[in-house]
């Protein structure tokens, strides 16, 4: 028992130290697996010997039995709110008031810190052990949330080091990171549960759960920004020094906090933090200026519920109300349709906003957005403004639903939206002006028509100069047109013309892949060519016929039939063939290919064959070459520096071969 007690104490101390290094210093010294091993060992000891369990044990973060209700708690030192400043003039006035009260014209030393958009809490440490935690509430009375706060990894259950007061009250802001917020909402969407509007609401809702196990599952964190009551202990006489001391005791402090001299430097800090705001991992809605000297803070005192020695300099509002007047659909370079809200202009995030993204039809349906609604708009930094939610109480009688167009607003081609996808797409890839650059780049790529020298920049230049409008125009380009392009000489122009002419001699699989039909990659293109033999047969095939082909499911079949149903696409194919694109006739074969029932996966670098060469040789003998290992895989061909595919093959018991063994199979000697 004595050994177990000593071991448990050692594990607790080491885990506290690793928590400090991970969450406060951001300098972990052990891998997560080792931390987990130590935690499991401590859990096992405490389960075997319950008397070893302590309040400050790292195992006590998982949450206990649900509370019936929150108890109220009286703050012995009130948790004050801050007065706000929205303009530079108001900040200058704040500084002038301080100088007058302190009877000085010298620069005041301020501590500048981001104003986190979270939930203020207070933590009580007695002899270094966290004993209670509460919300701010109305500043005088809050709710006791100790069990929930214990689940937050960035809150130390025990202070590190020595020299802390017998009783120390620490003030901080609990928040949820932007990444954690998005992941939480994504999980809720998949379960068709209610999502949170913003990270602040998510943090507040998570912290006020009666069941602390729910809180434990939420990605909450804390930054500490000050102290309240202190008993039997001395603290530094400058605010920034207090924060440095809290950090040494294991409490997490925002790394953006700075000490400056003079109000001009405060405003420079405001501008600097404002520029990096969108890239910070957490939400902030302004910055806070605090007089650094604790003596001066006491001399300045308070007004009502706010201190005279601090002020919040707010950023322009990132959320505002406005009216949704209409919706237009924009077509992206890959054919994806994005609904864009046309709004009653509103000033938000420092600019006037009249348009905002609605993301896709699934989001519109989930948020129940209708034309005529009063909506909340959010804009943060350079992020595209978005419609966050609808104020249903203000919905007018004349509001009406937003409908997905059946035809592309750019080219008139059919719009398709599979049931299992959120994005709707235009099917006129070869013709649609919105997609033409990407269509030509794909068409000319190495695995498609392989037009050497026709890179992305040249394609964009050709389209911008209106020398080509679609893929068929490549075959009408002249030497003069190419040579007159910027940085293009006679020789380069001729090389591209030769490559374009050479590309006319191709194969049906390459041609089908070059068309850019959604979900039709190299392998699918080869399967289609082998089964239908001619382009005309494929164009005439319906969904039922396509699904009779191995590896062609209903989704791919739908994409293929819709593509060929568009008159623009069929016309483009006819033009390409008229310009001389041709391929060998695929003859019917009465004999099965030797590897027709085998599936291969290639991983790593082979000594003499490139992956592409190996793939072509295998497919020529009827084998199927895929990118992922499954139970259906016959062989995994492993070269130098193989990836995770090798490990998966070994776990599944799939036979792994090298290049020598591959050559034997190709030569029919296996």
Angle at 599 (CA atoms; ends 596, 601), nearest 5 degrees: 145
Instruction: Give pairs for 3-8: CB < 8 Å, separation 24+.
Output: 4/45, 4/48, 4/49, 4/52, 5/49, 5/52, 7/41, 7/45, 8/42, 8/45, 8/46, 8/49, 8/52
Per-residue pLDDT tens digits for 114-170: 999 889 999 999 999 999 999 988 788 889 999 899 999 899 999 998 999 999 999
**Residue 64: its pLDDT value, please?**
47
Q: Rounded to 5 degrees, what are φ and ψ at 552?
A: -105, 105
Output the CATH code of domain 319-401: 2.40.50.140
The DSSP H or E segment spanning 536 is helix 535-540
The DSSP H or E segment spanning 657 is strand 655-657
What band does 11 get if pLDDT is binned at 50, 70 and 90?
confident
Angle at 534 (CA atoms; ends 530, 539), nearest 5 degrees: 110
Q: What mean pLDDT do residues 191-200 have?
A: 79
Nearest to 384 by CA among 351, 336, 424, 421: 351
Answer for the pair 516, 430: CB distance below 8 angstroms, yes or no. Answer: yes
**Residue 590: its pLDDT value, please?**
58
30-34, 207-211, 270-274, 626-630: segment of lowest average pLDDT:
30-34
Q: What mean pLDDT do residues 84-88 have?
A: 87
**Residue 355: its pLDDT value, please?**
92
Region for residue 280 given its phi and psi (left: phi exceeds 0; alpha: psi -120 to 50; beta: otherwise): beta
Count other C-beta atoms under 10 Å from residue 93's C-beta: 13
- H helices within 161-228, ranges in order? 178-190, 199-207, 212-216
What band does 192 get if pLDDT is binned at 50, 70 and 90?
confident
What band does 29 get if pLDDT is binned at 50, 70 and 90?
low
Cα dihedral 655, 661, 667, 670 in deg (nearest 10)? -50
Per-residue pLDDT tens digits for 395-425: 999 899 999 999 999 999 999 887 777 889 9
Domain spanning 84-314: which superfamily? DNA ligase/mRNA capping enzyme (3.30.470.30)
Answer for the pair 94, 101: CB distance below 8 angstroms, yes or no. Answer: no
The DSSP H or E segment spanning 620 is helix 611-620
**Residue 372 pLDDT greater than 90, yes or no:** yes
Catalytic positions are 115
Nearest to 284 by CA among 136, 121, 119, 114: 114
User: Alpha-carbon distance 78 to 96, whole Å?
Assistant: 26
What band does 611 get if pLDDT is binned at 50, 70 and 90?
confident
**Residue 23: its pLDDT value, please?**
54
What band does 63 get if pLDDT is binned at 50, 70 and 90?
very low
User: Alpha-carbon distance 643 to 650, whole Å?
Assistant: 12
Q: What mean pLDDT do residues 557-575 have?
A: 92
Answer for the pair 223, 235: CB distance below 8 angstroms, yes or no. Answer: no
What band does 517 get if pLDDT is binned at 50, 70 and 90?
very high
Per-residue pLDDT tens digits for 93-125: 999 999 999 999 999 999 999 999 889 999 999
**Residue 383: its pLDDT value, please?**
65
**Residue 61: its pLDDT value, please?**
59
Instruction: Give pairs for 28-31: CB < 8 Å, separation 24+.
Output: none
CATH 3.20.20.80 fits 2-61, yes or no: no
Topology (CATH) of 599-666:
Rossmann fold (3.40.50)
**Residue 69: its pLDDT value, please?**
67
Per-residue pLDDT tens digits for 647-661: 899 999 999 999 999
Please state, in angstroms and as integers, the Cα–Cα distance from residue 376 to each residue in 185, 205, 328, 400, following that order: 18, 20, 18, 18
Q: Position of tokens 């016309």?
A: 571
**Residue 26 pLDDT greater than 70, yes or no:** no
The end-to-end CA distance of the chain, in Å, is 64
Nearest to 172 by CA among 220, 131, 135, 223: 223
User: Alpha-carbon distance 636 to 601, whole Å?
Assistant: 5
Per-residue pLDDT tens digits for 631-648: 889 999 999 888 888 989
Strands (DSSP E) along 557-632, which ranges? 599-603, 624-626
246-250, 282-286, 610-614, 647-651: segment of lowest average pLDDT:
610-614
**Residue 606 pLDDT greater than 80, yes or no:** yes
What is the average pLDDT score of the chain?
Answer: 88
**Residue 551: its pLDDT value, please?**
78
Nearest to 432 by CA among 355, 361, 503, 337: 337
Q: What mean pLDDT do residues 12-36 have?
A: 69
User: Alpha-carbon distance 125 to 232, whole Å?
Assistant: 12
**Residue 76 pLDDT greater than 50, yes or no:** yes
61-65, 82-86, 108-112, 551-555: segment of lowest average pLDDT:
61-65
Looking at residue 317, the DSSP 8-state letter turns out to be P
Please state, in angstroms and as integers, the Cα–Cα distance from residue 359 to each residue in 161, 350, 372, 392, 495, following that order: 50, 23, 18, 20, 43
- 3-state percent breakdown (helix, strand, coil) of the chain, nearest 5: 40, 20, 40
Looking at residue 5, the DSSP 8-state letter turns out to be H
Per-residue pLDDT tens digits for 324-359: 999 999 998 788 999 999 999 988 877 788 999 998
Per-residue pLDDT tens digits for 210-268: 888 888 889 999 999 999 999 998 899 999 999 999 999 999 999 999 999 999 999 99
**Residue 67: its pLDDT value, please?**
52
Domain borders along the chain are 2-61, 84-314, 319-401, 408-588, 599-666
Token couple for 603: 């991983």
CB-based burial label for 146 (10 Å; 0-12, 13-18, 19+): middle
**Residue 581 pLDDT greater than 60, yes or no:** yes
Q: What mean pLDDT do residues 299-305 have?
A: 84
**Residue 40 pLDDT greater than 70, yes or no:** yes
Q: Rounded to 5 degrees, what are φ and ψ at 439?
A: -65, -40
What band does 37 get if pLDDT is binned at 50, 70 and 90?
confident
Domain spanning 408-588: which superfamily? 5' to 3' exonuclease, C-terminal subdomain (1.10.150.20)
Looking at residue 226, the DSSP 8-state letter turns out to be E
If DSSP codes are grouped into helix, strand and coil, which group holds residue 436?
A: helix
Q: Rounded to 5 degrees, what are φ and ψ at 374?
A: -85, 125
**Residue 314: its pLDDT value, please?**
87
Percentage of residues in the chain having pLDDT higher than 90: 53
**Residue 32 pLDDT greater than 80, yes or no:** no
Strands (DSSP E) along 195-336, which ranges? 220-231, 258-261, 284-291, 302-303, 306-307, 310-314, 319-331
The DSSP H or E segment spanning 147 is helix 146-150
Find residue 176's DSSP bridge partners: 220
Which is more confident, 49 or 382?
Answer: 49
The DSSP H or E segment spanning 170 is strand 167-176
Gyration radius (Cα) of the chain, Å: 33
What band does 535 get if pLDDT is binned at 50, 70 and 90?
very high
Q: Position of tokens 């996808």?
A: 421
Percentage of residues in the chain having pLDDT higher than 70: 94
**Residue 538: its pLDDT value, please?**
96
User: Alpha-carbon distance 78 to 142, whole Å?
Assistant: 10
């Amino acid at each position: 028992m004595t050994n177990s007690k000593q071991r448990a104490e050692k594990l607790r101390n080491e885990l506290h130290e690793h928590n400090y290094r991970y969450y406060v210093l951001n300098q972990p010294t052990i891998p997560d697996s080792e931390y987990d091993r130590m935690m499991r060992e401590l859990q096992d000891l405490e389960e075997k010997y319950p008397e070893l369990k302590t309040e400050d044990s790292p195992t006590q973060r998982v949450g206990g039995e649900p509370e019936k209700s929150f108890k109220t708690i009286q703050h012995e030192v009130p948790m004050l709110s801050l007065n706000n400043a929205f303009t530079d003039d108001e900040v200058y006035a704040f500084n002038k008031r301080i100088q007058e009260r302190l009877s000085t014209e010298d620069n005041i030393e301020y501590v500048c810190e981001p104003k986190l958009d979270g939930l203020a809490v207070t933590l009580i440490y007695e002899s270094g052990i966290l004993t209670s935690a509460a919300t701010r509430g109305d500043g005088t009375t809050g709710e006791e949330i100790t069990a929930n706060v214990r689940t937050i990894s960035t809150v130390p259950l025990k202070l590190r080091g020595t020299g802390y007061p017998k009783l120390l009250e620490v003030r901080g802001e609990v928040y949820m990171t932007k990444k954690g917020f998005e992941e939480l909402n994504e999980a809720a969407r998949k379960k068709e549960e209610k999502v949170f509007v913003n990270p602040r609401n998510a943090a507040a809702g998570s912290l006020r759960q009666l069941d602390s196990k729910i809180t434990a599952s939420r990605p909450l964190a804390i930054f500490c920004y000050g102290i309240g009551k202190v008993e039997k202990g001395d603290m530094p006489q400058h605010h920034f020094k207090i924060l440095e001391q809290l950090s040494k005791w294991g409490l997490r402090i925002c790394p953006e906090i700075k000490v400056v001299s003079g109000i001009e430097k405060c405003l420079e800090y405001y501008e600097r933090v404002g520029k990096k705001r969108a890239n910070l991992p957490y939400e902030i809605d302004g910055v806070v200026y605090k007089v650094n000297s604790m003596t001066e803070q006491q001399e300045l005192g308070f007004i009502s519920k706010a201190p005279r020695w601090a002020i919040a300099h707010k950023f322009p509002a990132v959320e505002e109300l406005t009216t949704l007047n209409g919706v237009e659909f924009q077509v992206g370079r890959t054919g994806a349709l994005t609904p864009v809200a046309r709004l009653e202009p509103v000033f938000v995030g420092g600019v006037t906003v009249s348009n905002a993204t609605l993301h896709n039809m699934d989001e519109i349906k989930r948020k129940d957005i209708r034309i005529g609604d009063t909506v909340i708009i959010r804009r943060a930094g350079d992020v595209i403004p978005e419609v966050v939610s609808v104020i249903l109480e203000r919905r007018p009688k004349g509001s009406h639903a937003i409908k997905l167009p059946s035809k592309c607003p750019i080219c008139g081609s059919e719009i398709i939206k599979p049931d299992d996808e959120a994005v709707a797409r235009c099917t006129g890839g070869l013709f649609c002006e919105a997609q033409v650059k990407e269509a030509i780049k794909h068409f000319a790529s190495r695995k498609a028509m392989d037009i050497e020298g026709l890179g992305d920049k040249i394609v964009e230049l050709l389209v911008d100069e209106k020398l080509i409008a679609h893929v068929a125009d490549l075959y009408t380009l002249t030497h003069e047109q190419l040579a007159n392009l910027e940085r293009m000489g006679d020789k380069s122009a001729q090389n591209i013309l030769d490559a374009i002419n050479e590309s006319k001699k191709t194969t049906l699989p390459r041609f089908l892949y070059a068309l850019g039909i959604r979900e039709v990659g190299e392998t699918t293109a080869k399967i289609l060519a082998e089964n239908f033999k001619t382009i005309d047969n494929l164009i005439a095939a319906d969904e039922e016929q396509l699904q009779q082909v191995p590896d062609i499911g209903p989704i791919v079949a739908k994409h293929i039939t819709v593509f060929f149903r568009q008159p623009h696409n069929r016309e483009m194919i006819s033009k390409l063939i008229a310009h001389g694109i041709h391929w060998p006739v695929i003859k019917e074969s009465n004999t099965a290919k030797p590897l027709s029932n085998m599936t291969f996966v290639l991983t790593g670098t082979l000594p003499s064959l490139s992956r592409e060469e190996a793939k072509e040789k295998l497919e020529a003998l009827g084998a199927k070459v895929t990118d992922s290992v499954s139970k259906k895989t016959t062989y995994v061909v492993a070269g130098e520096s193989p990836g995770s595919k090798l490990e998966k093959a070994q776990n599944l018991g799939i036979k792994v071969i090298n290049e020598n063994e591959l050559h034997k199979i190709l030569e029919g000697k296996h």
